[in-house]
Amino acid sequence: MNTDFASNTTVLLGRSMRHILRSPDTIITAAITPIALLLLFVYVLGGAINTGSARYVDYLLPGILLITIASGIAYTALRLFTDVSTGIFERFQSMPITRSALLWGHVLTSLVANLISLVLVVLVALAMGFRSDAGVGAWLAIIGILVLFILALTWLAVIPGLTAKSVDGASGFAYPLIFLPFVSSAFVPTSGMPTPVRWFAEHQPVTSIVNTIRNLYASQPIGDDGWIAVAWCVGILVLAYTLAMRAYRRKIA
């Protein structure tokens, strides 16, 4: 790795993290909605949902984790938009630093902030009764999938962060991503859905990712869902990165 790129990215990551540490409400806010949904569905609606022998908190957690990530990446777009709209972005460009480090500083900040939010949600789930006897390998696989998902959505967030004309435009793109888990196997089994809805639910990325995470921490075979989940994450990541870098080149041209 280029030494200048690594050092520049580290400095910019430190800058963004200091902003978050001074104002941790972004992490707290990103975790509040998922935690509220976790409490609502487990304690209010969970008794009416049949998930077989699995405890509902165990069934529900993967979808809540993905909603947490979708909530968090909205702040990535907002932070980048703020740098662009206030002129800080152009000021950095005039300095002798690696150009791509400007984006990677925001991307790595998103990764760290989202991982912290995920830890908060998992701690709440543990307090609510979530348990897993999965081994270290399974948990490393879960972390790997979540990291891939965070990076994929973060690079997706970079695009409106660079191109949006308003604050609402920068952060509003995340709302469809937050609601996507509701039309998947995240909250209820897809078997009870109407046929068109079931087809969509079973062929969108959230379902395979949710099923993979759920089976990993339940020590169950993941089947084809594992490869499909990784393929979705990598595919979205490659496409989003390509489009983000294209938008970035246009921005600095």
Output the tens digit of pLDDT for each of the chain's 253 residues.
Answer: 455 767 777 777 777 777 676 666 667 777 888 999 999 988 887 667 766 667 889 999 999 999 999 988 888 888 888 877 777 666 666 665 666 677 888 888 889 889 989 999 999 999 999 998 889 999 999 999 999 999 999 999 999 988 888 877 777 777 888 889 999 999 988 888 899 999 999 999 999 999 999 999 988 999 899 999 999 999 999 999 999 999 888 876 6
User: 102: which 2 tokens?
Assistant: 């400007």
Alpha-carbon distance of 253 to 236, in angstroms, equals 25
The phi and psi torsions of 227 (rounded to 5 degrees) equal -70, -40
Confirm if 206 and 186 have CB atoms less than 8 A apart.
yes
Alpha carbon of residue 197 to chain centroid? 24
> Which residues does 187 contact at the CB level (< 8 Å), separation at least 6?
41, 49, 60, 63, 181
